[in-house]
Structure 1
């Protein structure tokens, strides 16, 4: 076992813990900022649109679409179990932490798997896998993008409803 492999074995759990703690901190009560919701819409749309333009394999494209549909459905469910608050300090929401962490960590796990696969193939004659090569990867990309896109759209809808009620955004 060389030094690089040993370093990866030590650093991957630290990386997973840091990503988990970052995602978990974002799943707490937070202020609703409209510009972030618009950014979420654009980012998660691009997360599906960019790979979809590159895909030529029907199975991989279907996996991306299936993951997207499942993510949209989970997003609707996530919005139903979200706690919304309108206070004098502003608008706040508290997402369901378990659901958000589960969706985000599914993508993180898949990206880490691809990283391990690329590292394992280093120095061999095997081709380096791309993000868009695997239907399972595209399924997790679609799931994550669909969930967070729907969540951003739902938060914007909630803010629009408040704006109509009180006359300010």
Structure 2
């Protein structure tokens, strides 16, 4: 075993732990800021739509992406019912369901780490490195994560717009 392999074996759990800790802080009570909701909608929407151009000739991968997106929309809708919304004098706040958001995000992180390890293991061999869109499992994870957070962002935007209408009508 080379020193690089040993370092990777030690560093991957640390990397996973740091990502988990970062996600945990992002899944707590947050101020609702419209520009963040727009950004989330655009970034996570693009995360689902951009692979479509490459997957047009691979129906199985396209189906996995679509299935992941459908599951993500369903989980996002369910997660919104479990989200706590607050309208306080300090501003608008929301608290998403922590475990669900972390689970969805860590699923994609685990898949990316797996691909990184696969690329590392292919070094020096004649096998080609896998592309991100080669695996149906990866496309499912991308669709799930992108659609979950896109649904969440769109719904938060709708919530804020309903609040604005209520204030305007009062």
Structure 1 residue 81 displacement after superposition: 0.3
2:118 maps to 117
Give the equivalent residue in structure 1 for 2:157: 156
Correspondence list, 1:4-15, <5 A: 4-15=4-15
CA distance in 1, matches of 2:129, 2:51: 17
Corresponding residue for residue 39 of structure 1: 39
1:20-59 alignment runs, 5 A limit: 20-55=20-55, 56-59=57-60
Runs (4+) of structure 1 exceeding 2 A deviation are: none
1:29 Cα deviation from its structure 2 partner? 0.3
Q: Give the 3-state SS of the residue equivalent to 1:167 in structure 2.
A: helix
Which secondary structure does the structure 2 equivalent of 1:137 belong to? helix
SS in 1 for 2:92: strand
Q: Which sections of structure 1, spanning at least 5 residues, go unmatched? A: none
Using the size of structure 2 for normalisation, the TM-score is: 0.97
Gaps of 5+ in 2: none
1:167 deviates by 2.6
Q: In 2, distance between residues paired with 1:50 and 1:165?
A: 36
- RMSD after superposition: 0.9
